[in-house]
Amino acid sequence: MRKTLKNRLELTGIYLIVLLMFLIISYPLLWTISLSLNPGSSLFSSSLIPENWSFVHYNWLFNDPSSNYLLWYKNTLFVATITSIASVVVVAFVAFAFSRYEFVGRKYGIYSFLLLQMFPVLMGMVAIYLLLNTVGLLDSLWGLVIIYIGGGLPMNAFLVKGYFDTIPRDLDESAKIDGAGHFRIFFQILLPLAKPIIAVVALFNFMSPFMDFLLPRIILRSPEKFTLALGLFNFINDKFANNFTRFAAGAVLIAVPIAIVFLFLQRYLISGLADGATKG
């Protein structure tokens, strides 16, 4: 009886903690959505749901000639998509090499990955600016893509390499006995089994360009090349006064592509191991 009561109390405590965390996370989101439906430009509202709510700010973002929102959205989707795909390809090959092969410098390469993760990105901003200026990629979306791919390589490769290490090498040996080469082992055995970590890398690298402000701020100069984070900042700076409601509307729409990609990759996160083992 006491054990049952104790289990119920523990379960109730867990639910209360989850509920508290849900309220903490959901309130800012609901407040932002409410702000985006406020037809005025004030940051404050008397209620969570505006009495005279309207989609006027969303209409302005998409239809007003002075709004570059769709262009910024297109730029961000371009950077996010290319970064996500290229990062997955590069990281998978690098992690495969470090996980399955012995070569000169392998040990120091792994140590380099660990070392590079310890330093914040801010330390390399001046070097990044000078490098892109030298190669002519300053104020370029491709320059931004290259920096995102290179900047995320150490952490992502280290994660994927660790996941590859958990896959038994006996599978590789069995495939070699059957006549499989290195690429066949990589594509037909390791990658299917590594779907969960590959999906994580793809999702995080897709999200980064939507969330990052500092790097685009340093690299991009032309308004027509801005990403969403950088473009939306203009809605609350001196030039555009204090259009927090337009800023909120633009910020809410950022979640749409991220949610779509997450829902698409969710099945790989959940069933990737089972599917990969069956195909292997």
**pLDDT tens sequence across 25-72:** 888 888 888 888 888 766 666 666 777 788 888 998 888 887 889 999
Q: Which two tokens stand for residue 259?
A: 């949610």
Same domain, 126 and 220: yes
Q: Which two tokens stand for residue 152?
A: 């995320």
Same domain, 255 and 153: yes
Same domain, 84 and 108: yes
Q: How far apart are CA 41 and CA 244, in angstroms?
A: 6
Confidence of residue 242 (pLDDT cuts 50, 70, 90): low
Same domain, 262 and 227: yes
Q: Which two tokens stand for residue 188?
A: 């037909």
Confidence of residue 276 (pLDDT cuts 50, 70, 90): very low
Same domain, 95 and 223: yes
Enumerate residues 6+ apart whose C-beta is below 8 A from 139.
219, 220, 221, 222, 225
Q: CA 257, 259, 263: angle at the middle one, nearest 5?
A: 120
**Model pLDDT, residue 123:** 78
**Model pLDDT, residue 236:** 76
Which domain CATH number covers 189? 1.10.3720.10
Under DSSP, is residue 183 helix (H, G, I), strand (E, B) or coil?
helix
Chain center to CA of 280: 29
Q: How far apart are CA 191 and CA 100, in angstroms?
A: 13
Per the prediction, the chain carries an average pLDDT of 84
Q: What is the mean pLDDT of residues 241-266?
A: 86
Q: CA 245, 49, 54: angle at the middle one, nearest 5?
A: 55
Same domain, 267 and 212: yes
**Model pLDDT, residue 278:** 38
Same domain, 29 and 86: no
Q: At residue 273, does pLDDT exceed 60? A: no
**Model pLDDT, residue 35:** 84
Task: With both helix axes pointing from N to C terminus, report the angle between 195-211 and 69-100 in degrees, rounded to the nearest 10.
Answer: 140
Which among 161, 205, 193, 200 is positioned nearest to 271, based on CA atoms?
193
Of the ranges 66-75, 102-111, 113-122, 253-262, which one carries the lowest mean pLDDT score?
113-122
Q: How far apart are CA 150 and CA 154, in angstroms?
A: 8
Domain membership of residue 49 as a residue range:
2-56
**Model pLDDT, residue 272:** 45
Q: At residue 271, does pLDDT exceed 90? A: no
Give per-residue burial for 39-68: e unless 16+ CB within 10 Å, then b: eeeeeebeeeebeeeeebbbebbeeeeebb
Confidence of residue 143 (pLDDT cuts 50, 70, 90): very high
Same domain, 77 and 194: yes
Same domain, 30 and 169: no
Q: Which two tokens stand for residue 252?
A: 């809410």
**Model pLDDT, residue 48:** 67
Same domain, 223 and 182: yes
Burial class (CB in 10 A: 0-12, 13-18, 19+), 200: middle
Last residue of a domain, one of 34, 56, 78: 56
**Model pLDDT, residue 43:** 65
**Count of domains for the chain:** 2
Q: How far apart are CA 240 and CA 67, in angstroms?
A: 11
Same domain, 159 and 85: yes
* In contact, 163 and 197? CB cutoff 8 Å: yes
Same domain, 74 and 175: yes
Where is pLDDT greater, at 117 or 172?
A: 172
Last residue of a domain, one of 40, 56, 72: 56
**Model pLDDT, residue 275:** 42
Of the ranges 12-21, 76-85, 118-127, which one carries the lowest mean pLDDT score?
118-127
Identity of residue 233: F
